[in-house]
């Protein structure tokens, strides 16, 4: 009986030692920390893909939000364009006024029911101090041009000479001088209106863009347009005064 008990105890001890040895040889696999990149590499490929996809989405979303908050759009600088357009229009008006004030250029010729400036229908050249030559582009318009010259306040009696018209300029009388000065004044006012229209167009463009511009820039640009307008109005006035002085001989 005692022998049987000793054998049972020995078997039980061996069983306990075997179980312990088996427990020690068994490795325990724990999931690595999600926050560790090195640990993430030990995950199964599917889990690793899902993990990186979630991390990438989170980063992308944050970057998009940050980008939206940091984006600043600068208002376009329309100043150079507005001033350039206004300057070109005002210069064109002054150049046209200069041509208008040239001798005979203010004469309007009625042809085919439409009044056209003489300088668009003929070449006017100076033969001497008191004689002008008018060469029509179209010989059929000679009669209309001759009639227009006779009707002008210059008091000229033109003479046909082949394909051209000879205009002898007589000494100007007081009445003719006054009439010519009125023509000059009217021409000046017409072209100053063109300058003012260019000014208004520039101001309208500034007004439409004002919501996207700093107030100081808007005021500065409006002031620069006003200064341009004054400059070209003065130029037109100076030209007309010089022409009136030329006509009156003073």
Which distant-in-sequence residues (6+ apart) come within 8 Å of 185 by Cβ? 240, 244
The reported pLDDT for the residue numbered 36 is 43
Is 86 in the same domain as 184?
Answer: yes
Q: Is residue 49 part of a domain?
A: no
Are 149 and 156 contacting, i.e. CB atoms less than 8 angstroms apart?
yes
Is 134 in the same domain as 179?
Answer: no
Is 119 in the same domain as 196?
Answer: no
Q: Is residue 67 part of a domain?
A: no
Number of domains comprising the chain: 2
> Which residue stretches of the chain have pLDDT < 70?
1-76, 99-106, 129, 172, 249-250
The reported pLDDT for the residue numbered 100 is 65
Q: Containing domain of residue 156, as a range? A: 105-167
- Which of 228, 250, 246 has the alpha carbon at shortest distance from 87? 228
- Please tell me the pTM assigned to this model: 0.51
42-76: per-residue pLDDT in tens? 444 444 444 444 444 444 444 444 444 444 455 56
Q: In this structure, what CATH number is given to the domain that contains residue 216?
A: 1.10.132.20
The reported pLDDT for the residue numbered 78 is 80
Q: End of a domain among 115, 133, 167?
A: 167
Q: End of a domain among 148, 167, 186?
A: 167
Question: CA Rg, the chain, in Å?
Answer: 48
Extract the tokens encoding 77.
Answer: 């600088």
Burial of 13 (0-12, 13-18, 19+ CB in 10 A): exposed
Q: End of a domain among 117, 147, 167?
A: 167
The reported pLDDT for the residue numbered 74 is 59
Report how far apart the first and last C-alpha atoms of the chain are (Å, whole number): 161
Is 111 in the same domain as 129?
Answer: yes
Q: Is residue 6 part of a domain?
A: no
Q: In this structure, what CATH number is given to the domain that contains residue 139?
A: 3.30.1360.40
3-class DSSP assignment, residue 167 = strand
Extract the tokens encoding 54.
Answer: 């979630």
87-106: per-residue pLDDT in tens? 888 888 877 777 666 666 66
Element (H, E) at 136: strand 131-136
Is 151 in the same domain as 196?
Answer: no
Is 235 in the same domain as 176?
Answer: yes
Task: State the residue for tokens 């000046």.
Answer: 188
């Amino acid at each position: 009986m005692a022998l049987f008990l000793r054998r049972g105890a020995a078997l039980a001890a061996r069983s306990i030692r075997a179980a312990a040895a088996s427990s020690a040889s068994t490795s325990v696999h724990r999931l690595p920390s999600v926050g560790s990149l090195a640990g993430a590499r030990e995950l199964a490929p599917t889990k690793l893909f899902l993990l990186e996809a979630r991390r990438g989405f989170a980063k992308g979303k944050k970057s998009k939000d940050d980008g939206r908050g940091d984006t600043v759009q600068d208002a376009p600088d329309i100043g150079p364009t507005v001033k350039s357009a206004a300057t070109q229009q005002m210069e064109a008006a002054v150049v046209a006024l200069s041509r208008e004030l040239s001798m005979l250029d203010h004469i309007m010729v009625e042809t085919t029911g439409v009044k056209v400036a003489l300088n668009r229908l003929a070449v006017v050249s100076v033969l001497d101090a008191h004689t002008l030559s008018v060469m029509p582009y179209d010989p059929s318009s000679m009669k209309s041009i001759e009639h227009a010259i006779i009707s002008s306040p210059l008091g000229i009696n033109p003479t046909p000479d082949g394909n051209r018209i000879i205009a002898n300029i007589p000494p100007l009388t007081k009445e003719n001088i006054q009439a010519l000065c009125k023509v000059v004044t009217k021409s000046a006012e017409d072209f100053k209106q063109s300058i003012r229209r260019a000014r208004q167009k520039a101001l309208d463009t500034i007004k439409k863009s004002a919501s996207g511009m700093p107030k100081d820039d808007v005021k500065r640009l409006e002031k620069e347009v006003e200064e341009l307008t004054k400059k070209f109005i003065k130029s037109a006035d100076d030209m007309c005064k010089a022409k009136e002085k030329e006509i009156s001989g003073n």
